[in-house]
């Protein structure tokens, strides 16, 4: 980061929490409106479908330890 950016950050950290939150929202809101790529949009749809299926007991969760072990096995091939 540039020295100007670091100085702004330093000053922003001295603000009360509510002011920092408002500032963060104003700085991040344009990024939230950025257009998603087709791949990002597809992943969001897929994640929402998977979550809905899990939430309605149509799919079961898999423990993280089991998933990680499977990934390690696949990578070691």
Which domain range does residue 19 map to? 3-32
22 and 44 inside one domain:
no
62 and 47 inside one domain:
yes
72 sits in which H/E element: helix 64-76
43 and 69 inside one domain:
yes
DSSP per residue over 16-57, as a string?
Answer: -HHHHHHHHHHHHHHHHTSPPPHHHHHHHHHHHHHHHHHHTT
pTM of this structure: 0.46
* pLDDT (tens digit per residue) in 34-75: 888 899 999 999 999 999 999 999 988 899 999 999 999 999
50 and 69 inside one domain:
yes
43 and 70 inside one domain:
yes
Domains: count for the chain: 2
Q: Is the pLDDT of residue 31 over 90?
A: no
Judge whether 36 and 44 are in contact, CB under 8 Å: yes
């Amino acid at each position: 980061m540039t020295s100007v950016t670091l100085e702004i950050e330093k000053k922003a950290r001295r603000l009360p929490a509510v002011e920092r939150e408002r500032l963060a929202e104003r700085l991040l809101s344009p990024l939230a409106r950025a257009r998603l790529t087709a791949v990002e949009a597809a992943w969001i749809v897929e994640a929402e479908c998977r979550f809905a299926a899990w939430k309605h007991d149509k799919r079961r969760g898999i423990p993280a330890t089991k998933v990680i072990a499977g990934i390690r096995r696949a990578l070691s091939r």
